[in-house]
Amino acid sequence: MTIVTGTGPRLLQAFDGHPWDIEAYLRVGGYEAWRKCVTESNHEEIVNEIKRSGLRGRGGAGFPTGIKWDKVLNHRMKERYFVCNAGEHEPGTFKDRYLVKHYPHQLLEGCLIAAHTIRAKASFIYLNHEYKEERENLQKAIEQARARGLLGKNVLTTGLDLDIELFSGQGSYVAGEETAMLESMQGRPAMPRQKPPFYPTDFGLYGKPTLVNNVETLCNIPPILRNGAGWFAQVGTDKCPGTMLFSLSGAVNRPGIYEMPMGMPLRRLIEDFGGGVPGGRHVKAVFPGGPSFSMVTADQLDLPMDFDSLKKAGTGLGSAGVIVVDDATCMVAKTLQFSSFFRVESCGQCPPCRMGTINLETLVSKIEQGEGTQKDLDSLLQLCGFVKGTGYCTLVTGAAVLVQSAVRLFRHEFEEHIALKRCPYQPAPAGVGVH
């Protein structure tokens, strides 16, 4: 389900027809921006317009897109590459899947503009290997665009050759981290590189400058260039203009993808669009940016949903995977669920992450099963302090932040498990707690 807020459709423009139908996309102004880029605009002009729009990457870090494009376009090395990151593997995030499936032409147009602007030698879309229908739609869109002379050899009879290749991803969470993704595209294990110095804009695919952008970031490019940077910045906040696609899941009546301007309150998403918590229950906690960022509690639902406001509140927006937890949920069990995810998904390259994620899961599991002690709780927090900020990517930091925020906000639940020697949310076995 998709709902666009009062400002009218911006990223998710409605069109009449199948998602892969190029005619339907052309009717709403599709490929106009691409046509203009190839025939009229120069590369610097395109980058400047993206800079003026204030667009920030939607893949998690919120890095200014125009600055990234500028770095690659003006790199002294002339062999460059472009990769669209459609790896998407984080629990609670499914907006890129929606975009690839329903807006393949818009994504393709964004990719063509990005690849052309930085003068890429070759261009790829790195797609989650489980996204079968999405891949088919994208493939159909590529074929239709090729038949129309919009990509391939001699684009729009300008002499430009530009193709986009689909690359089937490795299907792991870490493989979505940009340097791990580039490693895997070169046939190596999907393990992140050390940064600095190996940022993709300097040392990307085959060691050459590479532009990596998220699916949603790229889908924003055609409407920005078609309508102008000023139009884009009409909604959102000064430092986070535009809208964002929120993947809303967990304890809500209407989970789905919702497009909202940046800076709207979390409450609006959960109550107005998500229809509130089902079964007469209440919000207990929310992950506003997926399991790698601190949770917030029911008294924080007026928080504005944008990169800066959430950072200021001690959490983060990430890729806007909003997970709602209700008051019937055991927070130790919820923490365990995501701790297990991090343990499974650690690529094992960095020792603090390899061992840290195993030990975090073990200690949380011990407490959840009623076998934990106060010493285990102390060790758990100590371990979070040791591993946070280590590793070549942020996976282990996310795993530690999850546990720290759970203990900070729901310490009493951890202590109750220890005191009762069982999970209070599970029915007590016969005899336990009876004196």
Ligand X SMILES: Cc1cc2nc3c(=O)[nH]c(=O)nc-3n(C[C@H](O)[C@H](O)[C@H](O)COP(=O)(O)O)c2cc1C
Residue recorded with tokens 């994504």: 107
Smallest separation, CB 128 to ligand X (Å): 8
Q: Is the dihedral of CA 46, 48, 50, 56 positive or negative?
A: positive
CB of 121 to ligand X, least distance (A): 20
Choice between 174 and 380, CB closer to ligand X: 174
For 125: left if phi > 0, alpha if psi spans -120 to 50, otherwise beta; the answer is beta
- Residue where the block lists tokens 């393990």: 191
Q: How far is the CB of 173 from ligand X (least distance, A)?
A: 5
Question: Closer CB to ligand X, residue 115 or residue 395?
Answer: 395
Task: Name which of 224 and 367 has its Cβ closer to ligand X.
Answer: 224
Amino acid at 64: P
Q: Given the complex with ligand X, which of 41 and 394 has the nearer CB atom?
A: 394
The least CB distance from residue 61 to ligand X, in Å, is 5
Cβ 278 to ligand X shortest distance, Å:
29
Cβ partners under 8 Å of residue 58, min gap 6: 214, 215, 216, 217, 220, 244, 245, 319, 320
Cα distances from 213 to residues 200, 306, 336, 353, 414, in angstroms, run 11, 19, 31, 26, 40
91 class by beta-carbon count within 10 Å (0-12 exposed, 13-18 middle, 19+ buried): middle
- The residue with tokens 């906040």 is 237
The CB-of-305 to ligand X minimum distance in angstroms stands at 16
Cβ proximity to ligand X: between 159 and 197 the closer is 197
Residue nearer to ligand X on the CB measure, 41 or 319: 319
Asked if 11 and 223 touch (Cβ cutoff 8 Å), the reply is yes
Which positions touch ligand X (CB under 6 A)?
57-61, 63, 85, 87-89, 173-174, 176-178, 212-214, 217, 393-395
Residue for token pair 């500028």: 70
Between 201 and 309, name the residue whose CB sits nearer to ligand X.
201
Q: What does the angle CA 329 – CA 332 – CA 338 come to, to the nearest 5 degrees?
A: 95
CB of 405 to ligand X, least distance (A): 18
